[in-house]
Amino acid sequence: MKRIKHWINGELVNGKSDRTGPVFNPALGEQISEVLLASDYEVDDAVKAAKKAFPEWSSLPAIRRARIMFRFNELLMEHADELAELITSEHGKTIEDSLGDIMRGREVVEFSCGIPHLMRGEFTEDVGTGVDAYSIRQPVGVCAGITPFNFPAMIPLWMFPLSIACGNTFILKPSERDPSCPMKLVELAKEAGVPDGVVNLVNGDKEAVDAILVHPDIDAVSFVGSTPIASYIYSTAAQFGKRVQALGGAKNHMVVMPDADIDQAADALISAGYGSAGQRCMAVSVAVAVGDKTADSLVETLVPKIQELKIGPGSSSDIEMGPVVTKQAYDRITSLIEKGVSEGASLVVDGRSFNLQGYEEGFFMGGSLFDNVTEGMEIYKQEIFGPVLSVVRSQDYESAIDLVNRNEYGNGTAIFTKDGDAARDFSERVQIGMVGVNVPIPVPVAYHSFGGWKRSLFGDTHMHGMEGVRFYTRLKAITSRWPKSGVREGHSLNMPTME
């Protein structure tokens, strides 16, 4: 059976830990490989390699780091099909969705190619007589990234390319559920010209995460995952003096106004609610229909679209939705559907009965649709992370926006309407980090920044874009004067001014 190792100082290593974890093909429901799980020892080795590589890498001119990023982007394009197959075999999403995973990550690599411009400081001449002031951005040091299973290409590519382009060195701890694609990414980084030790990868579980959070030589930690873990990552790493950005969970609402094009809104909900089997932090899991007439029309339009979803192994070319990632995920989603029924929601489409001939052991389920969901139900409160859409009926626009704003999460939201005034008002008043107007999944492009509000983000900066550059660099202000030779002004104990 294939064994997935660690990547430390430019080579594959076993390390000393003898712990392993299973990696499954979710379409088949069978183990296809095992991954080594790091201990403190492997993490420390990776940190030592990164710390040793930092001085030379950080002093390399930014334009030379940019040229490596250009080459890395070319390699990602050349190996896109191979990477997509790795993702699909371990995650389950369709090949097309896996290619999209890679493409959205590549956009951040492309953004990183502009690092000579992005790290420019500011200069002011003569802030005082013969005194100049300027600022520069310098790398933070050794950085680490802890990434989730649902985007094994995109989220690692959100982190380490921009971090190393800024001059940092990096330790990546990907999800142990689908580790093969992240491993291929770091191998391609070396092929692109990234020196040994600049990017390292340790596979592992909580033991590896904890080792990263407390290690004295790691200066910054990036994380994407669930809210409870994001809170833990932030509080623990910050306690040990690290810079932290920790992106948590979501409960994304899409408000459908009475004037909306219902067919357009329904298509958007199918894409945003059931794409990748709902395993996206930006998935829309709640449709807020304004008015009963809107809700009735929306549910009527959604039902046949959900029932006609093409479900199967992600490697098949005509498939729209693959399996969920693990049996544990399947069981959790099923139990939440059962909870929704017991709490009184109307289960209009039940995906639990889906069975795919020839793939009986796979982790497949059909799309589910609930109507008449209320704010106190568990299916509303919890991030289900599966192909389950809930319709909440709101009597008016004000009630709808209040519902969105009361939710503990603040990752993404959307409004579908033909009314520009309503769309503008919603965009200004909604307490959410990313907003879509007639756009169901408002994920910003790479040169803007990704991040939520409230319990969807712990820390001060969002991912990628200029927020990412700020996170991976430190600002230094320099005030300089070159007095004329032989001129002495004496000393003063007064507060210095620039008069």
Positions annotated as catalytic residues are 281
∠432-436-442 over CA atoms, to 5°? 85
**Contacts for 82 with CB less than 8 Å, ≥ 6 apart:** 184
Residue pair 259/270 in contact by the 8 Å Cβ criterion: no
Q: What is the DSSP letter of 195?
A: P
Label residues 245-259 b or e (16+ Cβ within 10 Å = b): bbbbbbbbbbbbbbe
Cα distances from 363 to residues 296, 404, 461, in angstroms, run 32, 32, 36
∠381-387-390 over CA atoms, to 5°? 45
The C-alpha atoms of residue 358 and residue 344 are separated, in whole angstroms, by 35
Cα distances from 151 to residues 72, 154, 325, 445, 492, in angstroms, run 19, 5, 12, 16, 60
The C-alpha atoms of residue 343 and residue 334 are separated, in whole angstroms, by 14
The C-alpha atoms of residue 405 and residue 328 are separated, in whole angstroms, by 31
Q: Which residues pair with residue 35 across a beta bridge?
A: 4, 21
Sheet holding 284-290, edge to edge: 346-349, 368-371, 388-394, 284-290, 252-256, 412-416, 434-437
**Contacts for 89 with CB less than 8 Å, ≥ 6 apart:** 25, 32, 180, 315
The C-alpha atoms of residue 448 and residue 463 are separated, in whole angstroms, by 9
Helix (H) or strand (E) holding 135: strand 131-139
Q: Which two tokens stand for residue 186?
A: 């770091």
**Closest by Cα among 319, 428, 269, 298 to 372:** 298
Instruction: Say how many C-beta atoms besides its own lie within 10 A of residue 188's C-beta.
Output: 20
Helix (H) or strand (E) holding 2: strand 2-4
Q: 46: alpha, beta or left, given left = phi > 0 and alpha = psi -120 to 50?
A: alpha
Q: Which two tokens stand for residue 100?
A: 């999209």
The C-alpha atoms of residue 245 and residue 57 are separated, in whole angstroms, by 23
Q: Which amino acid is at 141?
A: G
The pairing of strands 11-13 and 6-8 is antiparallel
